[in-house]
Amino acid sequence: MNISEMITPAIKNIPPSGIRKFFDLVNEMKDAISLSIGEPDFVTPWCVREAGIYSLEKGHTHYSPNSGFIDLRIEISKYLKRKYHVEYDPKNQIIVTVGGSEGIDIALRSLVGPGDEVIIPEPSFVAYKPCTIFTGATPVIINLRVEDQFRLTPELLEKAITPKTKVVILPFPNNPTGAVMPREDMDKIVKVLEDKNIIVISDEIYSELTYEGSHVSIASYPSMKDKTLTINGFSKSYAMTGWRLGYICGHPDLITAMYKVHQYCIMSSPTTAQYAAIEALRNGDKEVQVMVSEYNRRRRVMVDGFRKMGLDCFEPLGAFYVFPCIKSTGLSSEEFCERLLEEEKVAIVPGTAFGQSGEGFMRACYAYSIENINEALKRTENFVKRLKSR
Amino acid sequence: MEEILEILEKDNKISAEQIAVMVGKSVEEVRAVIKKYEDENVILGYNTLINWEKTSKEAVTALIEVKVTPQRGEGFDKVAERIYRYPQVKACYLMSGGFDLTVIIEGNTMKEVALFVAEKLAPLENVLSTSTHFVLKKFKDKGTIFEERMKDDREAIIL
């Protein structure tokens, strides 16, 4: 038996992740300095870790209800209302998921199939496209542009919509560009979508990491509330990546549908993580503020650093990524990042890992200590100087 | 501009140029703000936190609870001053509760500290009693945990 023939073409045809190839190179180089890992460098706040430990001491080691502990869903509901002015009923409008990623998966599986189109703005998180393909639906890519600060514009959106469009993914604040959707930009997107039979999957996992302004949730528009599935979680805001906990909220009918997928595939999210998350939502605001202020300082240092070395860099106002343009060096993203790694031992992810429109850019993450950032910037500057003097 | 204080409190080696970028102000502005804080005694000094245990220097720290009689017209200030003027006294706080002053003393040996208490502190006029507690181990000081720094052990993951 030829084992590989047993694999379904749908999976076989999905190319390996662009970041994977790059990380294999990074792992070979032990003393490389990195700006490539997309998760907080902070450890989960102690009060949150302590709550998780306490729950274990008390013996809370069993399954939780399928959609998550009601106490957690109540806290999530309060949090979304207090932060983003969206109200969801904890009883039937929230499912606690294994990270935001599960939310993406169960939403797409509940909504689309062969013949349907899913609009995905790129550059963006690497999972949207494969998760769409898993369902048999067709991804329709919108190439976001630096001249729009990588925001989604109504023109680009209208052009992508066809009678087959069933879902639009709204990935803001954005990984990898750091782009956000301020209210005036969101207003225009709402105008396009409010009278259409299209569901928005709004992935707001980076919502807490919004600088110089506050995050706008598309579900806070009354005309969009029922047509939006809001995904969020604890990984980025509370530095809880390893706990694997997120949530998805929306219309009760959609939640009922997704609940079926969730209960048969996942059953329930990790119990310890849920106890910790309750504490995070109740008492974590101050700790989040400290982290956000620190990220904001590093953000400014990094943008300043890239601009000083002569690389164009639009002002990223969200997440923890800077997306400088390297076109002026004459190299492609992959060439630039591979040579930067070889010659200066700095790992930065090529923009193409997040879609073709990432060509000419790279993703530098500032979830690193300031010393690490300064050293990486210094080395990158040496490299850019050498390139430009040739 | 209290953000500048927060940055310096965590790391006073950071340059004015770097702070300027971090807070989005000009270097001149940042320098002026720092100067102002120094002039107004908001910034009192730029200390270094040292774990003397890891050096060859012998060092002992003691916390002393002191009960005193406040003086008419002077309250606790005068007697506190007579205590905190000694260079061995690293910190001196007026307390609520069962005693009046917390005095933190550093010396080379326990004997040295004990002698200081017996010869200088306890005989002071207005000092009613002292109770000396030696520090056996410092776990955390000035917000910093005294253990090896954490290494960045994040794994390369696709996202």
Beta bridge partners of B102: B65, B93
Ranges of beta strands (E only) in chain B are 60-68, 89-94, 101-107, 127-134, 140-141, 144-145
Q: Which of B9, B21, B26 to mutate to test the interface with A (most CBs of A within 10 A)?
A: B21
Q: Which residue has the higher pLDDT, A268 or B154?
A: A268
- Which tens digits make up the pLDDT trace of B93-141? 999 999 999 999 999 999 999 999 999 999 998 999 999 999 999 999 8
**Does residue A139 sit in the same domain as residue A216?**
yes
Beta bridge partners of A121: A142
What are the angstrom distances between the C-alpha of B75 and each of A86, B78, B82? Answer: 56, 7, 13
Give A292's contacts (C-beta < 8 A, 6+ positions apart).
Answer: A208, A209, A211
Q: Which of A41, A124, A131, A297 to mutate to test the interface with B (most CBs of B within 10 A)?
A: A297
**Does residue A63 sit in the same domain as residue A139?**
yes
**Does residue A253 sit in the same domain as residue A358?**
no
A289 in reach of chain B (CB within 8 A)? no
Rounded CA gap, B78 and B70, in Å? 9
CATH of the domain at A304: 3.90.1150.10
Rounded CA gap, A27 and A34, in Å? 11
**Does residue A85 sit in the same domain as residue A161?**
yes
User: With 0-12 CB in 10 A as exposed, 13-18 as middle and 19+ as buried, what is B99?
Assistant: middle
The pLDDT value recorded for residue A160 is: 98
Distance from A228 to chain B by nearest Cα, in Å?
24
**Does residue A359 sit in the same domain as residue A267?**
no
- In degrees, rounded to 5, the angle at the alpha carbon of residue A378 between the alpha carbons of residues A371 and B151 is 30
Select from A267, A283, A299 the last residue of a domain: A283
User: With 0-12 CB in 10 A as exposed, 13-18 as middle and 19+ as buried, what is A13?
Assistant: exposed
Rounded CA gap, A156 and A216, in Å? 20
Q: Do B3 and A41 touch (CB under 8 A)?
A: no
Q: Do A37 and B22 touch (CB under 8 A)?
A: no
Question: Smallest Cβ distance to B21: which of A23, A27, A301?
Answer: A301
**Does residue A274 sit in the same domain as residue A352?**
no
**Does residue A292 sit in the same domain as residue A264?**
no
Q: CA dihedral defined by B23, B24, B26, B30, rounded to 10 degrees?
A: -10
- Is pLDDT of A117 > 80? yes
Select from A231, A263, A283 the last residue of a domain: A283
Q: Do B22 and A300 touch (CB under 8 A)?
A: yes
CATH of the domain at A231: 3.40.640.10
The pLDDT value recorded for residue B119 is: 95
Domain that holds residue A200: 46-283
Q: Are strands A246-249 and B140-141 parallel, antiparallel or unpaired?
A: unpaired
Select from A222, A249, A283 the last residue of a domain: A283
Query: Which residue from A minimizes the CA distance to B155?
Result: A37
Looking at the structure of chain A, the number of domains it has is 2
The strands making up A362-365's β-sheet, listed across from edge to edge, are: A321-322, A362-365, A349-350
Distance from A20 to chain B by nearest Cα, in Å?
6
Average pLDDT over residues B51-78: 90
Specify the range with the lowest mean pLDDT, choosing from A3-17, B26-40, B126-140.
A3-17
- Which tens digits make up the pLDDT trace of A71-83? 999 999 999 999 9
Q: Do B157 and A38 touch (CB under 8 A)?
A: yes
Distance from B137 to chain A by nearest Cα, in Å?
22
Q: Do A368 and B7 touch (CB under 8 A)?
A: no
Nearest to B131 by CA among B109, B99, B107: B99
The pLDDT value recorded for residue A18 is: 66
The pLDDT value recorded for residue A329 is: 95
Beta bridge partners of A138: A117
Q: Do A39 and B157 touch (CB under 8 A)?
A: yes
Question: Smallest Cβ distance to A19: which of B18, B22, B158?
Answer: B158
Percent of chain A whose predicted confidence (pLDDT) is above 70? 100
Question: SS in 3 state form for A189-214?
Answer: HHHHHCCCCCEEEEECCCCCCECCCC
Task: Tally C-beta pairs within 8 A across A and B.
Answer: 46
Rounded CA gap, A297 and B19, in Å? 8
Provide the token pair at B109.
């040996």
Q: Are A124 and A101 in contact (CB under 8 A)?
A: no
Rounded CA gap, A332 and A329, in Å? 9
**Does residue A130 sit in the same domain as residue A276?**
yes
**Does residue A166 sit in the same domain as residue A272?**
yes
**DSSP category for residue A64:** P
**Does residue A152 sit in the same domain as residue A232?**
yes
A25 in reach of chain B (CB within 8 A)? no
Beta bridge partners of A246: A97, A233
Rounded CA gap, A272 and A287, in Å? 20
Q: Are strands A321-322 and A246-249 parallel, antiparallel or unpaired?
A: unpaired
Average pLDDT over residues B68-82: 88
Query: Which residue from A minimizes the CA distance to B19?
Result: A297
Name the CATH code of domain B52-137 (choices 3.75.10.20, 3.40.50.720, 3.30.70.920, 1.10.580.10).
3.30.70.920
- Which tens digits make up the pLDDT trace of A54-76? 999 999 999 999 999 999 999 99
**Does residue A183 sit in the same domain as residue A126?**
yes
- Is pLDDT of A323 > 80? yes
Q: Looking at beta carbons, which residues of chain B come within 8 Å of A203?
A: none
Q: CA dihedral defined by B17, B18, B23, B24, rounded to 10 degrees?
A: 60
**Does residue A343 sit in the same domain as residue A366?**
yes
User: With 0-12 CB in 10 A as exposed, 13-18 as middle and 19+ as buried, what is B17?
Assistant: exposed
The pLDDT value recorded for residue B158 is: 64
Band (B159; pLDDT cuts 50, 70, 90):
low
Other C-beta atoms lying within 10 Å of the C-beta of residue A216:
23
